[in-house]
Amino acid sequence: MIYKTYQPAASYETAQKTFDYYMGHTADWGGDLEEYPFHRLLIAVLDRIKDIDAEKDLNTDTLVDFWNKNRNPIFANAVTEALIKQGADRAGGKLLKLLRSEKIDKNSLTAILHRIEFGKIGISKQGVKYLERMYDLGELNNPDYFVQRLTAKGDVGIFDDEKILQKYFNLGDLESEEKVARPRIHDFVYQTLFFEKEGETKEERQKREQYLKEFKENYFDFYENEFFQKTGVRFNNLDFKEQGWFLNFYKNADESKKESLMEFAKKHKEAGLRTFLSLEKGEEMGDKILELGNNLDIISASLIFNKYAEIVDLSEKNAKDLSEFFKKSRDFSSEEMRIIARNSIKKGSDLLNSFFEKTKKSKGKNLGTEEIMEDLENYKNNLIFTATVYTSLKEAFKKGLDEKDIKLEDLKGITFEQVSAEQIKEKPEDKKQMLRIYSKNYEYKPELQEILLRAFEEKIESGGENIVLYLYKKDGEIIAFNRFDKERGGRKYFGSCNVSPGIAGSSIGSALIEASLKNETLNNEIIEAECLLETEISSHYIDKCGFVVKKVFDNYKGTGEKVFGIERNATFNSYYRNFSQKEIIKELEEKFPKNNYKEGSKRMILKFGKNSPELIKTAEELINKKGYLITRYFFRGKDVICAFEKNPAK
């Protein structure tokens, strides 16, 4: 049962994308209740294993083996708590061994290692030994001091002989096999726990600084002991900013509200508490979340809070990714990254607020959670796609994109959405904006414009869930979009790719294209599309996105336009795919001067005038009649460089 408890794939198809792509922060939602019955059953089994007193080494080995084989974040908390009770030290050693031999999914193992509770660990004159590594703490190598875990991100606190929290350090790369490390020692300062508050008064600042002082003095007694005993939630599973927000709210609450907050944490566990803490919108929104937790049955509340916890994590991860992408740029501060993260979960907060108002109006009647769960799931999927866009940007940086090409202003107020045609029908303003951009981009080709717009509207009206659109918005306005149609045989059609004229050539617009293609080819689906010969975007498709030209249309749908029929197929290995453009040009000049090539050659590189009759004639002859593909296609001044290769399927 332990290893064979998966639901049928269809039961959590969308959620599985999260599990496959993001494990870095996912050891946060085990909880007592989950949305899948078999998963709840297994969590109950893990909870029972936790309290077995016999054969603890064997139990620990079984739990580690289970996590290594399953790695489903739903079980992370339950596995961690069981490991803590059965044998934390043994588990740590075994997980480290697995981590150091793991080739793919290291984050899932690191997440558990960062959460295992080892208790107080004494410091020697050489340092402190934590997870088989000696950390030399310099002048803090005091045998009267000890360390203890502070967060689930590898932060470890240094306490003095009076149990006062003095400083902290991070464990660093656990994958490294170095036996001794000299970590950077951090002070606890205002910014460790609190964000700088705009318009903060001197009195407010002083009050928070006093909270910080009390936090350090009382951490061990209250947060490590009393809080856990009252709620069953480990305070050190929260990050520093979440701990700071809890501290700020708790210190300003009266006794009744403090009791309500502790009861809320006890009832809804870590996911509920993290939902409460993530909102950071002041006392009014905090009160609403507490009331929502009281009004909902525990299963409904657990579902909502667990889903929202996923959203919080994805938002924070996206902001962290951005800060890492642009860490060399002076334009991006931690405060600006925080604003981007806050903005990215604003819609989630608004959804919760709207749901709260509905529960009030229902006046105690049973209110179904299906709508809010669907809204949160859709929003979560948009954040997953946003992460894919950021990854595409990162890959572009590796290939030579200058960080200066993207300004902070480009990222403010932006969202990326993945929606079906059915959903677009319910958003007439979005449809209107897309049609406006589409029309503007093709106004210089009126016959083609009419055909494309009519086809697009027909797809929206009749496509239902088989048509997926990807939207790039800034301040709520669509500025780029594309669509994918599911076709027979597992193929997909990629079309309607449009960018507002004001951002043509934008790096973020290009990242949207590449991210949506990546999202639609998770199972190596074949993608078909069409493009105009003379446009820069056609070069982007073929030269950057892996498409090849399979057909040339001399008179596309009676419009007189010259169009390429292109295809992206992961199984096709192009000889020229990994050549740089400089290498392509060198090959052209050395082997194919003046477009000379031998009849029947497997491959050749030719140069034509942009959109010239010679290009059309040669491409039609080689592709439509002789079975070649164009595998590289880019512009160089007034010329276009084309790499032709024999189609292995012909």
**Average pLDDT, integer, range 594-610:** 93
Share of the chain above pLDDT 70, in %: 85
Element (DSSP H or E) covering residue 210 = helix 202-218
Q: Place 30 in a pLDDT band, splitting at 50, 70 and 90.
A: very low
Neighbours of 143 (CB within 10 A): 10
633 pLDDT above the threshold of 60? yes
Q: Place 464 in a pLDDT band, splitting at 50, 70 and 90.
A: confident
The mean predicted confidence, pLDDT, of the chain is 84
Q: What is the pTM of this model?
A: 0.67
In 3D space, the residue among 234, 261, 237, 263 whose CA is nearest the CA of residue 248 turns out to be 261
Range name among 412-426, 438-452, 534-548 with the lowest pLDDT average: 412-426
Question: Which long-range CB contacts under 8 A does 435-444 form with residues at least 24 apart?
Answer: 437/478, 437/479, 437/480, 437/481, 437/498, 437/499, 437/500, 438/496, 438/498, 440/500, 440/501, 441/498, 441/499, 441/501
In 3D space, the residue among 111, 110, 121 whose CA is nearest the CA of residue 158 turns out to be 121
**What is the per-residue pLDDT across 584-596, written as a single tens digit (0 to 9) for each?**
999 999 999 999 9
390 pLDDT above the threshold of 50? yes
Element (DSSP H or E) covering residue 229 = helix 227-231
What superfamily in CATH does domain 413-525 come from? Gcn5-related N-acetyltransferase (GNAT) (3.40.630.30)
Range name among 94-108, 376-390, 455-469, 525-539 with the lowest pLDDT average: 376-390
Q: Place 13 in a pLDDT band, splitting at 50, 70 and 90.
A: very low
**What is the per-residue pLDDT across 38-81, written as a single tens digit (0 to 9) for each?**
677 888 888 899 889 999 999 999 999 999 988 877 788 889 99
**Domain spans in the chain, listed from the N-terminal domain onward:** 9-113, 121-187, 413-525, 527-650
